Structure 1
Amino acid sequence: MILHILPESDWPVAELRPASLATEGFIHCSDPGTAHLPANRLFRGRADLLLLEIDPAKLDVALRWEPGSPPIPDGPWFPHVYGPIPAAAVVAAHPFPPNSDGTFTLPESLAHR
């Protein structure tokens, strides 16, 4: 499974097309071990987020593992989806609240899989 962070107000939709698809050509995603990195860098303290769980087998567009954008020196690679993500590929939407200090950790609903 791969994960995508988005505001609650952006879900549900028939097809996920965040701004990065138009500006960068792909949709930023993470895996369970890296979801906290973009969450802490881009969304620290936001209390209106969801973490979408996406089944890559249900995508009909390219999925590539690449360095982060912007790259993290010696950092992990992330899954980038090169096209819209259909709602049928989203197997779950998990609330993604920040911790009391504003940082993020993987929700319990995903941590023990």
Structure 2
Amino acid sequence: MRIFHIAIAAQWEAARSSGLYRTSTLGLTLEEVGFIHASRVDQWEGVRERFYAEVTEPLVLLEIETDLLDVPVVEEPPAPGLAETFPHIYGPLPSTAVVAVRHLPTT
């Protein structure tokens, strides 16, 4: 299965060098949140509009092949009381699980 994560381009480049990406979401690390936020193909554009609209740094969309992960991916609501679920990656994202990177135009 393919899932998606929006990343600041500079953070993704640093992760490619180390081999592991550890940013959960904008401004928060995996260690702070406990998982990496991800989206299905039909969700990432809404996530970008809601949470990344004001970001001026270059962004990339990471396409992740879940079969290449060695940590659990769990479908969960992003907050209590919400019905829609999102994939959450419970561990660092190895750069080898990212099968495509798309540069997103600035809004």
Say whether the fold is shared (TM-score over 0.5). yes
Give the letter aligned to residue 33 of structure 2: E
Q: Which runs of 4+ in 1 moved over 4 A?
A: none
Unaligned segments of structure 2, at least 5 residues: none
In the alignment, structure 1 segments of 5+ residues that lack a partner are 103-113
Structure 1 equivalent of residue 48 of structure 2 = 39
Query: Compared with structure 1, are the counterparts of its residues 51 and 78 closer, same or farther at alpha carbon in structure 2 (3 Å cutoff)?
Result: same
User: Which of 64, 72, 88 is the matching residue for 1:54?
Assistant: 64
Match of 1:22 in 2: 31
- Return the offset for 1:20: 3.4
* Structure 1 length-normalised TM: 0.77
1:64 to 61, 70, 74: 74
> What secondary structure does 1:10 align onto?
helix
> What's the TM-score, normalizing by structure 2?
0.81
**How many angstroms apart in 2 are the aligned matches of 1:4 and 1:72?**
23
Paired residue type of 1:34: Q
Letter in 1 for 2:38: C
Which residue identity does 2:36 align to in structure 1?
I
Work out whether 1:83 is the aligned partner of 2:64.
no
